[in-house]
A and B are shown apart, each in its own frame.
Chain A
Amino acid sequence: MSQMPDIAPSRRNEIRAEAADWFARAHSGDWNSADQERLDAWLGQSLSHEAAYWRLEGAWMEAARLTVLRAQADAQNPAARRIIPAPVKFAMALALAAVIGISGYSHLSGPAMQRFTTPVGGHRTLALSDGSQIELDTDTVVRVAINADKRTVWLDRGEAFFRINHDAKRPFAVMAGDHRIIDLGTKFLVKQNAGNVEVALLEGRARIEVGGGLLPTRSIELSPGDVAMASPDSMAVTKKPAKVLTNELGWRHGVLVFEGTSLADAAAEMNRYNTQQIIVADASIARRAIDGTFPVHAVPQFTEMAQAIFGFRVEKQGNRTLISR
């Protein structure tokens, strides 16, 4: 490898910028064979040019997957086709906050923002450098950015429990859907599902803002026991007994606690943790209430209970287990 020409350090940076310019022009829709020859000549000049340019081409090919977002939006709303699909709009709402926080691109290429995920049935605890902890429930995606002057977590999907060391000089905010939850010294739980956000406050204080951008449209301060249910255009706060909240956090110990929970709701809750899905196939039994504590992966025990105690029929079909009368 000694025959590699030395390239001045700053030069590679320029080469990447040049590659991006070539790339944008080559994909402008206004491109002829003479342009292509010039591009080929530029590529032929250096392996560095090729490496930079091919990398962009590869990423652009991968980005073809984004077109499925359009397909989804079309399917959901065939009459009024939106230019910007709903998931991207959601992404934009988050992005506004992200842009304020990061002032430019360079930050992103470093390790400043980190992304953490759990698979279906997964559970993990993130220990942040400031001593705070985030516990991720099943099928959850968060991104974490810890800066000198602020701490931000984006809950892109799923459910997470936060134990935050309060620091007035470094506010901690959770972005979920259109909402921003600001910690004022707190333990709290956040779930987000397709833009609907549930925040349960266990200890301390927190504020939830609708419209997580620059100018929140509404803001509510939560006290312990408060559960806020927020959709993109509404928010309601109810009080729940501490016991109920503790039950809701059973997943932190690998269990689900049901108390007077309908069979359908309990099945839906189990399904979040398992690929083996429980289907309550019969509407007449879906509302039967059950009590009990189940390990999150105990699908067989769950269906056996339905069979033994209620006398329901249980039928396994591949990834689905049907419960019917």
Chain B
Amino acid sequence: MAKQTSDTNPEGAARLAGKAGPRAEIRAWFIREVLPLEASLTHFLYKNWRNKSDIEDFRQEVYENVLLAAETKIPERAKPFLFVTARNLLINRLQKESIVAMEVVADLDALGAAADEPGPDRSVFARDMLRRLQAALDSLPPKCREAVILKRIEGLSQREIAQRMGITEQSVANHVARGIGVLAEMVYGQTADPRSGA
């Protein structure tokens, strides 16, 4: 692999400028089809990857590979594609590991079946969402929560929130930035029930 950091990729800007339409399509597909699978993906990575501290990075790498493939053609079925991608990355990583636990390999074999299951139950995903969102709000520190509530529920601007809370606009931005990260983790990443793997 080329040692090239992604954010200095000179072709990136051109890619975006030249393909605004397809990128919007890929974005819509990614949000609609891929992100709702995040809880399952996270669960899969937790089960199969020993270093729990870099699961979020691993997950992001899976997404990057999925987006790369979607540039050629948006996969028809997101779920098997996502999991095959995750498995390939996992195998790449495991080959660099000195010790491979046997159950990891066994799980990889079992994955064939998991990837063929029907996609996410979108109605379940939607029904559960409000509760997940409330749980996400629960977990925020008070100021951060207030900023997110004023922003998302009350629809106030950054300036209005700053005035209301008596803090600087930069602090509001920091709160919102932290809040959206936690929200995303609860909305997509949390496995509602580890036993069901859903």
A residues near B, CB below 8 A? 1-9, 11-13, 15-17, 20-21, 23-25, 27-30, 40-52, 54-70, 83-85, 87-88, 91-92, 94-96, 98-99, 102, 105, 108-111, 113-117, 141, 143, 154, 156
Contacts and interface: CB of A to CB of B under 8 A. Distances in A.
A72 to B, nearest CB: 11
Given A20-B180, A64-B152, A109-B189, A98 B27 contact: no
B5 interface: yes
Contacts of B135: 115, 143, 156
Given A50-B27, A55-B184, A70-B153, A95 B137 contact: yes
Given A13-B56, A65-B129, A154-B138, 8 more contacts: A5-B1, A29-B160, A44-B12, A49-B6, A54-B35, A59-B188, A109-B189, A113-B139
Interface in B10-52: 12-17, 23, 27, 30-31, 35, 46, 52
B60 interface: yes
Nearest to A14: B7
21 contacts: A1-B85, A5-B4, A7-B5, A11-B6, A15-B7, A16-B60, A24-B177, A27-B158, A28-B173, A44-B13, A46-B12, A54-B30, A58-B184, A58-B187, A60-B180, A91-B134, A95-B138, A98-B139, A105-B178, A111-B194, A115-B193
Interface string B46-69: 100000101011001101110111
Given A60-B152, A111-B191, A52 B13 contact: no
Contacts of A156: 131, 134-135
Given A44-B16, A45-B13, A6 B60 contact: no
A115 B177 contact: no
